[in-house]
Structure 1
Amino acid sequence: MSSLPPWLQQLLPILILLAAIALVIARLPKVELGHTEAFKRRRFFNWFPLGMTYAFLYMGRYNLNEATSALKGYTSNADFGTIFFWGTLTYGCSFLLNGPLTDKLGGRKTILISAAGSSVCNMLMGAVVYGVLTNGWQPPGGLVATLSFLYALNMYFQSFGAVSIVKVNASWFHVKERGQLGGVFGILISLGVYFAYDWSRFIAKAAPTWWVFFVPAAILALFVVLDFFVIRDTPGHTGHPDFDTADASSGESGPQLAPKDVFLKMIRNPVIVTILSIEFCSGFMRNAIMQWYPKFAKATGIGESFVAANWGMLLCVAGITGGMFAGLISDRVFDSRRGPVSAVLYAGMSLGAVASLFLLHSWMLGWAVIFMSLCVIGVHGMLSGTASMDFGGKKNAGLAVGIIDGAVYAGTALQSLLLGKILPSGEEAKAAANWSNWPIALVPLSFVGLLLATRVWNARPQSKAAPVAQVPAAASTAPQDSSRTGTQG
């Protein structure tokens, strides 16, 4: 492998892993739901470009980390925390508008809005950095304030991404297929993280810093064109029959409820409230790990270690593994229940968080945080990418995933503001001992997430022919009526 270009050396393990996963999935017994081969082919050409758009949205979101690191004396850790806080706060609040808007407009239109808007915002951020670095330009209010505003605007458009992908896929996948789809969702997140960290780092080393923003802007612009011609909201829009997906919208007739009524209905459902709380913890854990380990590694002088030097690639491999593990055991072992998988993965996160308390001075810390990343991406794929479809139903998937993803980014905003204030900067950041607040912050959230995940161990979506899902003391709901899962074509 030493003769291969560095970028290909990093990409090769990901390609090998994806090939191995494809082989394993191909050998597994199929869930037969009556889909034709023509339908499956068209479905692939629907979700694959949609999913890759989502992956590159991640690149246009988390490139901020590498960009602020490359800016060196222009921004500090606290400045990064401030910029990221305003972006994630905007993202978390945007579901109030964008969830219902996606249910009304359809996921195809909103993914186009998302990619186009994020492309423009990344171009503007790149232009600001270009002006500062080449001409000494001082933007209004200063660099941090200007990037905070533009990043918040970027994150508004970004917030359509997950909502759109779930909204579209909810009409194309049956409940019994969605665990594996949740694994695919985890793969897409992982690829996006790889693009955001390793590609952005490569760009920052090979070209001026502003290209860290310009490259994802150009890629997203290309996907706007591709998605316009390829993606459709439902099978019926491509000439294939629509079918009963057996989720919470199954059997529901009549006009679409007003967003306020749907929102109140969802937050009165104990299952959804519990999932919201779990995903709040997931948002805190995921970004407390992904955003701050590179900062820790660079500040303490271990930036050349294997984990730190290959952060994006290892996160991608871990996320793919965690996502597919979660998806496969959800459908194959736990009968399409998402709660047990989340509990298993949160147990792993809790172990990793406790271990990190004792590994702060050790090279093993990098592998502990990679393991925690495997777990948290698996949980996020199961809950934001899959449970949102199941319990929101295809009619209300936009608002459901908006609410759940909003909770994720509320947790993200909290960690960004908190860790930005309590973690060291400058000379203090060079000593690993001064970073002890970082693992301390991870432990309580991991245990709270584990406890909450056990509360939805038996939760399932209910069709309109069955009682409303509840979470009593045993944390279970009545089983799904499997006779109402008929499909066509």
Structure 2
Amino acid sequence: MALLLVSICLAAVIFLYFNNNPLNHSKKFIFRRFVNWFPLGMSYAFLYMARYNLNVSKNAMGDMMTKEQFGIIFAAGTIVYGLSFLINGPLVDRIGGKKGIIIATLGSALMNLLMGGATYLYLMGRLKTNMVVAFSVLYALNMFFQSYGAVSIIKVKAYWFHVRERGVFGAIFGTLISFGVYFAFDWGQAIVDASKLNPEGPRTAFQNFIQHIFAIDTGATDATWLVFTIPAFILIVWALIDMVLLKDSPKEANFDELDTADASSGDDDDVKITLGLIFKKVFANPVMITIALVDFTSGVLRNGIMQWYLIFANETKETNPAFYAGSEFFIKNWGLLLCLTGVLGGFIAGLVSDRMFQSRRGPPAAINNFIMIFLLIAMCFFLTKNPTLFGLSAVLMTLAVIGVHSLMSGTAAADFGGKKMTATASGIVDGCVYLGSGLQSLSIGYLSAKNWHYWPLFLIPFAALGLFLALRMWKELPEATKKYILEVEKAEALKQH
């Protein structure tokens, strides 16, 4: 049933893509652009599966990986992810998004295979080094390669989508994130359940498939390492597909170059991307700094909910059985719920931006942050008291925060950075997301060990800060976009007369 809903959701996304053509591109161009973004997007979605499988493995290992240990490992990865954009953002701007996504998928696949090996050795009692050290190093390396994914997908998008279309692509970007979360949590949990030494109830067809294909019966322990190795094999397949189908720009696919009306519109095609130019257009741009700070708060909020809800809910099994019983729907369908609400949140934010605010990204970001403040207050009230309303508030949080993240990382950074430096610009913005994620990982891992009530309280100031910053960029648009909108309005006025 869950897979059917996700498939319907994917079909709806594809339908909306083909029916959104404000610039009247040819059918051939629209189809070729789909062939470009779909495999690229699915590669990015499975990168998410190979990122958040750590969360699933933590729940599978139970007390063998404590909250504090998990917080340290996850923080090590997210901090490396955030800082690595200083290297790979400018690099992807030079080498292109195609090479960038191939580096991301193959590099992450290798690291996941190594994490699977480390998990096997740990569970079999053969790991000679400290588990936290081993996983922190491998997960950090995984996240280094993962960081190529976001900048690569946005780099390619910047050449294929006009600014007036990017709100919808931001929605597609949010959808891909949501699919990745579904793959990570629900498919990942299905892999964990299928790889148990003594599964509960009768074996399913998927369990039999896993048992026979991977020959996992060690007779000693659950094969939890498969939650790392299976995503690695999937990434390798998508890397091969990207090698064949992906093109960095319309020109490489034998179309005319598209003037996207972003911050690089009108620039000389032969201009050299120097550190000085990057500093001027990105680091010295107050709008870019504001976008990065808004996404920093979204990183705290997104992973502050997505990463910790299952851990919290599973802990109540012993301490508050009635609350746990009321949370089972959310626990069993966490990935699916995050997927569906993330898709909805991304599309609402993108369509509102393009249709109601002339492709300004600040207004819908401000609205979503305003909503999140109230949802977090509700979580404070319902924590341990009403599992249904608490779970519903947590799920709706992801709807709002994916809307903010898809607009900031997936769209605004490319708008104001321009297609020539979009990887550097989006990399800095996305890096701030994961610096925020690292901060919340260390903080909530520490605070929740004392009292879970600190969890939503810790997040409220970041939603308020996100609201304040989004309001500051309410009216901002790149100059080329303003010029394009004025030209369109003049042309429409002439038609009416």
TM-score (norm 1): 0.89
SS in 2 for 1:71: helix
Residue 251 (structure 2) pairs with residue 228 (structure 1): no
Residue 285 (structure 2) pairs with residue 269 (structure 1): yes
In 2, the alpha carbon distance for the partners of 1:20 and 1:101 equals 35
Structure 1 counterpart of 2:391: 366
SS in 2 for 1:395: helix
Deviations 1:127-177 (A, max 9, x none): 01111213x11232x111100000000000000011000001100010111
Residue 485 (structure 2) pairs with residue 482 (structure 1): yes
In 2, the alpha carbon distance for the partners of 1:290 and 1:126 equals 23
Deviations 1:302-339 (A, max 9, x none): 27521121100000000000001111111111111111
Residue 423 (structure 2) pairs with residue 407 (structure 1): no
Match of 2:92 among 70, 95, 102: 102
Structure 1 counterpart of 2:208: none
For the aligned residue pairs, the C-alpha RMSD in angstroms reads 1.7
Structure 1 counterpart of 2:355: 332
8 A Cα contact 2:18 2:30, kept in partner = no
In 1, the alpha carbon distance for the partners of 2:105 and 2:9 equals 28
Structure 2 counterpart of 1:139: 128
8 A Cα contact 1:128 1:139, kept in partner = no
Deviations 1:107-135 (A, max 9, x none): 1001000000000000000001111213x
Letter in 1 for 2:177: I
8 A Cα contact 1:122 1:217, kept in partner = yes
Q: C-alpha displacement at 1:81, in angstroms?
A: 0.2
In 2, the alpha carbon distance for the partners of 1:25 and 1:257 equals 32
Residue 3 (structure 2) pairs with residue 11 (structure 1): yes
8 A Cα contact 2:115 2:135, kept in partner = yes
Letter in 2 for 1:482: I
Q: C-alpha displacement at 1:257, in angstroms?
A: 2.8
Once the two structures are superposed, the pairs formed by residues 423-462 of structure 1 within 5 Å of their partners are 423-424=448-449, 434-462=451-479
Q: Flag structure 1 segments of 5+ consecutive residues without an equivalent.
A: 1-8, 429-433, 467-478
Q: C-alpha displacement at 1:347, in angstroms?
A: 1.0
Letter in 2 for 1:445: F
Q: C-alpha displacement at 1:19, in angstroms?
A: 4.2
Letter in 2 for 1:15: S
8 A Cα contact 1:139 1:146, kept in partner = no
In 2, the alpha carbon distance for the partners of 1:78 and 1:264 equals 40
In 1, the alpha carbon distance for the partners of 2:474 and 2:382 equals 32
In 2, the alpha carbon distance for the partners of 1:102 and 1:25 equals 26
Letter in 2 for 1:439: P
SS in 1 for 2:419: coil
Letter in 2 for 1:221: I
Deviations 1:169-193 (A, max 9, x none): 1000101110000000010000000
Runs of 4+ displaced beyond 2 Å: 12-28, 479-485
SS in 1 for 2:479: coil
In 2, the alpha carbon distance for the partners of 1:189 and 1:83 equals 22
Structure 1 counterpart of 2:203: none
Taking only the aligned residue pairs, the percentage that are identical comes to: 47
8 A Cα contact 2:295 2:405, kept in partner = yes
| Greater share of helix | 2
CA 1:99–1:120 in 2, change beyond 3 Å: closer, same or farther? same
Structure 1 counterpart of 2:148: 160
CA 1:443–1:255 in 2, change beyond 3 Å: closer, same or farther? same
Structure 2 counterpart of 1:69: 59
Deviations 1:213-268 (A, max 9, x none): 01100000111111001101011111111121100000011422313431343122
Structure 1 counterpart of 2:199: none
SS in 2 for 1:435: coil
Match of 1:151 among 139, 149, 152: 139
Residue 354 (structure 2) pairs with residue 351 (structure 1): no
Deviations 1:328-356 (A, max 9, x none): 11111111111111011111111111111
In 2, the alpha carbon distance for the partners of 1:264 and 1:420 equals 38
Q: C-alpha displacement at 1:298, in angstroms?
A: 0.4
Residue 185 (structure 2) pairs with residue 197 (structure 1): yes
Once the two structures are superposed, the pairs formed by residues 256-335 of structure 1 within 5 Å of their partners are 256-301=272-317, 302=324, 305-335=328-358
CA 1:168–1:139 in 2, change beyond 3 Å: closer, same or farther? farther
Select between 37-46 and 297-306 the one with higher mean Cα deviation: 297-306
CA 1:110–1:18 in 2, change beyond 3 Å: closer, same or farther? closer
Select between 263-272 and 337-346 the one with higher mean Cα deviation: 263-272
8 A Cα contact 1:308 1:366, kept in partner = no
8 A Cα contact 1:46 1:231, kept in partner = yes
Structure 2 counterpart of 1:474: none
Q: Flag structure 2 segments of 5+ consecutive residues without an equivalent.
A: 196-222, 318-323, 489-497
Q: C-alpha displacement at 1:480, in angstroms?
A: 3.8
In 2, the alpha carbon distance for the partners of 1:484 and 1:90 equals 44
Letter in 2 for 1:11: L
Residue 52 (structure 2) pairs with residue 89 (structure 1): no
Letter in 1 for 2:228: F
Residue 392 (structure 2) pairs with residue 375 (structure 1): no
8 A Cα contact 2:162 2:259, kept in partner = yes
Structure 1 counterpart of 2:254: 239
8 A Cα contact 2:181 2:338, kept in partner = yes
8 A Cα contact 1:388 1:397, kept in partner = yes
Letter in 1 for 2:238: F
What count of residue pairs does the alignment treat as equivalent? 451
Structure 2 counterpart of 1:469: none
Q: C-alpha displacement at 1:21, in angstroms?
A: 5.3
Match of 2:228 among 194, 213, 216: 213
SS in 1 for 2:420: coil
Structure 2 counterpart of 1:42: 32
Structure 1 counterpart of 2:160: 172
CA 1:196–1:357 in 2, change beyond 3 Å: closer, same or farther? same
8 A Cα contact 1:391 1:462, kept in partner = no
Letter in 2 for 1:138: L
CA 1:24–1:184 in 2, change beyond 3 Å: closer, same or farther? closer
SS in 2 for 1:245: coil
In 1, the alpha carbon distance for the partners of 2:90 and 2:14 equals 35
Q: C-alpha displacement at 1:442, in angstroms?
A: 1.1
Letter in 1 for 2:234: I
CA 1:144–1:201 in 2, change beyond 3 Å: closer, same or farther? same
CA 1:345–1:113 in 2, change beyond 3 Å: closer, same or farther? same
Structure 2 counterpart of 1:473: none
8 A Cα contact 1:460 1:480, kept in partner = no
